[in-house]
Homo-oligomer: A and B are copies of this chain.
Amino acid sequence: MENAQARWLWYPGDLEKYHALKQNFSRVERGCPWPAFWKSDGFRQRVAFRRTYRLEKPTSFTVFGTPGGAGYADVNGRKYPFGKTVSCDPGEIKISLHIPGEIKISLHIGCIGCVPAVYVQGDIISSDDGWTVEDYCEPPVPAASSRYFVKPEQNVADWPLLEKRFDPISIEAVNGGALFTFETELTAELEIKGSTNPPTVYLGESRAEALDTANCYYSCTPDPETHRCPRQALRYAFIPGYQPEQLSVRAFHRYVDVPVRASFVCDDAELNRIFAVAAHTFSLCCDVFFLDGVKRDKWIWGGDAYQSLFVNRYLTGDKDIEQRTLIALRGNDPVTTHINTILDYSLLWILSMGEHAETYHDTAFLRRMRPKMASLMELVRSQRDEHGFVIGRKQDWVFIDWADFDRDGPLCAEQMLLAAAYDVMARYGNAEEKTRYEAEKAALLSAIEQYFWDEEKSAYVDSFTSGKRHVTRHANILAIVFDLVSEERKRQITQSVLFNAAVPAITTPYFRFFELDALCRLGYLKEVLSEIKSYWGGMLKLGAVTFWEEYDPKLPLEKQYAMYGDPFGKSLCHAWAASPIYLLARYFVGLRPDQDSASGFAATPAPGFFDSLDCTLQLGETTVQVIARDGKTEIKLVP
């Protein structure tokens, strides 16, 4: 008899680390595998699970272990192999025990190539709550599990995917071959039947990419038995040398079950469409982890993940994908390198922990991760100069954005992130840490003021060591977004930097997220809405079915696909392009956490933007419906 609550168990964090390795090693570019270029931390390979039962009647159970693992069940000192039923009769448990009927179980497993995990099937003895796990190093901790791994026949190496079939919406004869077009971008296994030999198929996010057999990112041939190609991002599939009628082609979209729970309908059809396409874009990027995009690198990036948190809390409210991503990014202690090698991504990871905690209030998760926040913070602190400014080491990538910074000495934008990170450490630390980090933050802000503020330019400069007093928007935007300066100072910056055309514009949607967030915070909602409609609306006008990694309104469609020096290098389905969901939900619908309210949230739609509004949004794990019509707003908790 199977216990309904039984599930696979492992050491906390290890499943995430295993699948993060798989994810970060999965990139293939024109036939060339390209594993991520940073320190890749592994999982534990030998663990033991323990639990004591007090039996009052006979029972039996069966233990399953990760395939390929070596292990056994120890029941009151006697060994049993996995996969065979173990019978326990409390009447037969005799003198060796102090307590009648007490049965001590430990499940031992070693596995080299995958997470060592166990599943216990039984009516009383079962892998539900109450098991501890140890790694022969740290004290025992509660075993971890996931709603995705609840069946004994599963292998924790394979994340379960849902599948949805898509038939092409158009089939054309072109360039001496057959082009199959699907209604939207998919992460699919393409099934190709009808040829005697498996044909080569060229995939594209764009029609142009699929037809460019020399430059498209992915080509493949179907497996001769299943007729399926490997799971891959695609909207277009081109098969040279075949007539359309010769082949039967279908796409099986395979995806991790992270349901979109939000919808947005107002009287502006373009805005509704922008929200829907952003939701579809983001949903495609929700895999085992937040992916940056579905086609190109699919590596797990800390900066992209940070922005995904803002969208995710309103769109799916799925706590688990956030925790998986945060665990995967952080890796193991001792920490000696920055997340993705990028100094600012380490700081953004600490900020991500704060954002996650504020949204979901998962104190157990926070408690577990606090030592990792502290050790990463210590790495950052070890890189400070005499003023308390953090500086990148030779092996660090000081990124912030693709922009022309004056990178001499400490970079101002990094210090803004550091101040915000101190704030998170203070907020989620113990009393001693709170005092210490608040003092560090205050000292840092004072030093930033002294060294980076340029009174004449009324702006924070990139560098104080070069003497160039060069201004970019980034540090100034971060000062606003993280509320690091006075309201008066924010107003100054707005005029002298944000609305100053002489300061180079932000060119990446990545940093545009921070700029639009700053503008919203400052109350420039009209300007932001106009930008949403022109930038994201502009992509829609070019026929986008998912939003892009980057978009230059000045270029025609055929010039939009290149990026990073590659003719089809741009990702056409990119997580950070979904930020209108956050901007609309947070500032236009006005839905936000509010600790002072009984419901824990507040929703105050910005006046003057919508004649009517009917949207359902997540706020973490809470679902809220906001209906505004005829000047009245109704807010309902959705059960």
Contacts and interface: CB of A to CB of B under 8 A. Distances in A.
Interface in A3-46: 18, 21-22, 24-29, 31-40, 42-46
A336 interface: yes
A580 to B, nearest CB: 35
Q: Which of A25, A108, A341 has the most CB of B within 10 A?
A: A25
A437 interface: no
Given A32-B81, A37-B48, 19 more contacts: A21-B46, A22-B112, A24-B110, A32-B72, A32-B80, A33-B72, A34-B108, A35-B70, A35-B108, A37-B108, A37-B136, A39-B137, A40-B136, A42-B42, A42-B43, A112-B113, A112-B114, A113-B114, A136-B337
A79 interface: yes
Nearest to A333: B334
Given A81-B31, A114-B113, A136 B70 contact: no
A70 B112 contact: no
Contact of A42 (B24, B29, B45): B45
Interface of A: 18, 21-22, 24-29, 31-40, 42-46, 48, 70-72, 79-81, 108-114, 135-137, 334, 336-337, 341
B136 A39 contact: yes
A144 B287 CA distance: 37
Which among A35, A42, A136 has the greatest number of chain B C-beta atoms within 10 A?
A: A35
Nearest to A28: B70
Nearest to A138: B336
Number of copies: 2
A193 to B, nearest CB: 28
A18 B137 CA distance: 19
8 contacts: A32-B80, A32-B81, A37-B48, A37-B108, A38-B46, A40-B45, A112-B114, A136-B341
A135 B43 CA distance: 16
A35 B46 contact: yes
A146 to B, nearest CB: 19
A35 B110 contact: yes
A38 B136 CA distance: 6
A136 B396 CA distance: 11
A18 B45 CA distance: 11
Given A25-B70, A136-B337, A137-B336, A36 B110 contact: yes
B21 A337 contact: no
Contacts of A32: 72, 79-81
Nearest to A136: B39
Contacts of A109: 35
Contact of A110 (B25, B31, B108): B25
Contacts of A29: 79
Contacts of A81: 31-33
Nearest to A336: B137
Contacts of A111: 25
A34 B79 contact: yes
A39 B18 CA distance: 18
B46 A110 contact: no
Contact of A40 (B39, B110, B334, B336): B110
A42 B21 CA distance: 14
